[in-house]
Amino acid sequence: MEAFDLYSPEIDANPFPYYEILREQYPCYWSESGKLWILSRYDDIVQATRDWETFSSSQGNMIDELPGRAGATLGTTDPPRHDRLRALSQAAFARKNIEQFIAPTLDIADRALERICERRAFEFINDFSSQITVGVLFRTMGLPERDHAEIRRKVILPVSTDKSVKGRNPEHIAAFKELSDFLTAEVAVRRANATDDLITHLAEAEIDGDRLSEREVVLTTATFVMAGVESLSSFMSMLALNLHDHPDARRRIVANPELIEPAIEESLRFNTSAQRFKRTVMRATELHGQRMRDGDKVALAFGSGNRDWRKFPNPDVYDIARRPQGHLGFGAGKHFCLGSQMARLVTAIAMKRFLERVPEYHLEVDEIAWNSSSNFRSPSALPFAMP
């Protein structure tokens, strides 16, 4: 077996021992299965995120990219186009005061927790984390509640990878097309009739007379929906799992809820849902004796950089007192996650509330099944029960 087969279910289940082999023996590794280089050391990854002229995002940042995204979204452009899209998107986001996420998060969390406490056995993702991320984000965007479940389906497929199919599963491409068509119609409605929501704010964002085109609004909205719903819900489930696996940390947070914030940072370092993102080499370069040619694809393994002892001592220990400055859970450099502030806030509020009502919980299965995706990693289900 190769040192790191991107499409191996074993690696989905636990990539960390494999990352260690890469970091120590093959820091610039050619993966035959993925047909790309993998950079696994912290410093190399950070350097690559800064050097966009060599490591470009313009050919896509998903390892199995979807048609129509490359070169058209925030995550898939380089400066100066990226600077423009980022400034306009930030202008739209800034109109939503971050505090406005608090009330909907509390409201949805309380309703979900009512049901969970009645039943005492629950599946964390469907019954909690995904309800919150879908509800909060879609409300912010002004998407009608009756469509939420269906939009979530269209989002989940394109961010997952079907490893039984080489390349992209046509079903996922079709779901992304459906999502784009749906959002195109939503944007048209708001162009005709402005409402106070994030899609309208994106359509109206203007800097020095410059505005996003119709297609840019649709694709930026799609990025928010995909990044927001899936990364955030998956991250919350990773945090709940970490606190399950580390009961001492959980009890300390139950006793002192403010500790949820350092626990979030440590979870973003320890096992972020966003494990790897892609770049394309634009000018030949050499690293650790390996020659990367123009056009070669490269995976920046954020999840591995976060376990590099050169940056984080005792990296395989989950320690909520660590306060890991500069972790790569939200990426780094030009493409640092635009939703990081919102993701931290929503997670902190939701998880504090969760632990108030469910201070003790245990897994009802011996083995967790993992979602299979070349960029992301998360459990596909977390069946928990209260004592």
Residues in the interface with ligand HEM (CB under 6 A) total 26
Q: Where are the alpha helices (DSSP H) in 327-373?
A: 340-357
Q: Cβ of 314: how many Cβ atoms within 10 Å?
A: 9
CA–CA separation, 141 vs 220, rounded Å? 12
Distance CA 157, CA 335 (A): 23
C-beta closer to ligand HEM: residue 198 or 249: 198
Site string for ligand HEM, 317-336 (x = CB under 6 A): ------------xxx---x-
**Closer CB to ligand HEM, 25 or 100, in the complex:** 100
Q: Decide if residue 74 touches ligand HEM (CB under 6 A).
A: yes
Quote the least distance from Cβ 135 to ligand HEM, whole Å: 13
Q: Say whether residue 354 binds ligand HEM (CB under 6 A).
A: no
Gap between the Cα atoms of 199 and 134, Å rounded: 15
Give the contacts of 141 (CB within 8 A, at least 6 positions apart).
197, 198, 199, 221, 224, 225
One-letter identity of residue 248:
D
Structure tokens at 288: 């650790």
Q: Least distance from C-beta 364 to ligand HEM, angstroms?
A: 25
Q: Return the structure tokens found at 61.
A: 């940042």
- Residue 129 or 169: the one with the smaller Cβ distance to ligand HEM is 129
Q: Any contact of residue 262 with ligand HEM (CB under 6 A)?
A: no
**In the complex, minimum distance from the CB of residue 341 to ligand HEM, in angstroms, rounded to a whole number:** 9
The pair of structure tokens assigned to 345 is 């806030």
- By CB under 6 A, is residue 231 in contact with ligand HEM? yes
**Cα distance between residue 181 and residue 127, in whole Å:** 28
Residues 120-179 binding ligand HEM (CB under 6 A) are: none
Are the CB atoms for 373 and 159 separated by under 8 Å? yes
Note whether 56 binds ligand HEM by CB under 6 A.
Answer: no
Q: Which is nearer to ligand HEM, 337 or 386 (CB)?
A: 337
Which secondary-structure segment (H or E) carries 130? helix 130-141
Tokens of 156: 């989940």
Minimum separation from the CB atom of position 71 to ligand HEM (A): 12
What is the rounded CA–CA span in Å between residue 76 and residue 203?
20
State which residue, 74 or 253, has the beta carbon closest to ligand HEM. Answer: 74
Strand 362-363 with 121-123, pairing: unpaired
Residue of the chain from 22, 38, 202, 232 that contacts ligand HEM (CB under 6 A)? 232
383 binds ligand HEM (CB under 6 A): no
63 touches ligand HEM (CB under 6 A): no
Q: Does 338 bind ligand HEM (CB under 6 A)?
A: yes
Residue 42 interacts with ligand HEM (CB under 6 A): yes or no: no
Q: Which is nearer to ligand HEM, 113 or 159 (CB)?
A: 159
Which 287-306 positions form the footprint of ligand HEM (CB under 6 A)?
302
Bridge-based pairing of strands 277-281 and 210-211 is unpaired
Q: Which part of the chain contacts ligand HEM (CB under 6 A), choosing from 120-128, 225-233, 282-290, 313-321?
A: 225-233
Residue 376 per-residue DSSP state: B
- Residue 274 contacts residue 299 (beta carbons within 8 Å): no
**What secondary structure letter does DSSP report for 58?**
T
Residue 239 sits in the site that holds ligand HEM (CB under 6 A)? no
CB of 73 to ligand HEM, least distance (A): 8
The tokens describing 210, both together, are: 């410059």
| Residue 211, phi then psi, degrees to nearest 5 | -130, 165
Interacting stretch for ligand HEM, rule CB under 6 A, among 8-16, 118-126, 251-259, 273-281? 273-281
Q: Which region, judged by CB under 6 A, interacts with ligand HEM, from 28-36, 102-110, 219-227, 309-317? A: 219-227
Would you call the peptide bond into 80 cis, given omega within 30 degrees of 0 as the criterion? yes
Binding mask 80-109 for ligand HEM (x = CB under 6 A): ------x-----------------------
Q: What are phi and psi of 330, to 5 degrees?
A: -110, 20
**Does residue 235 touch ligand HEM according to CB under 6 A?**
yes
Q: Amino acid identity of 349?
A: I
Which residues bind to ligand HEM, rule: CB under 6 A?
Answer: 57, 61, 74-75, 86, 223-224, 227-228, 231-232, 235, 272-274, 277, 302, 329-331, 335, 337-339, 342-343
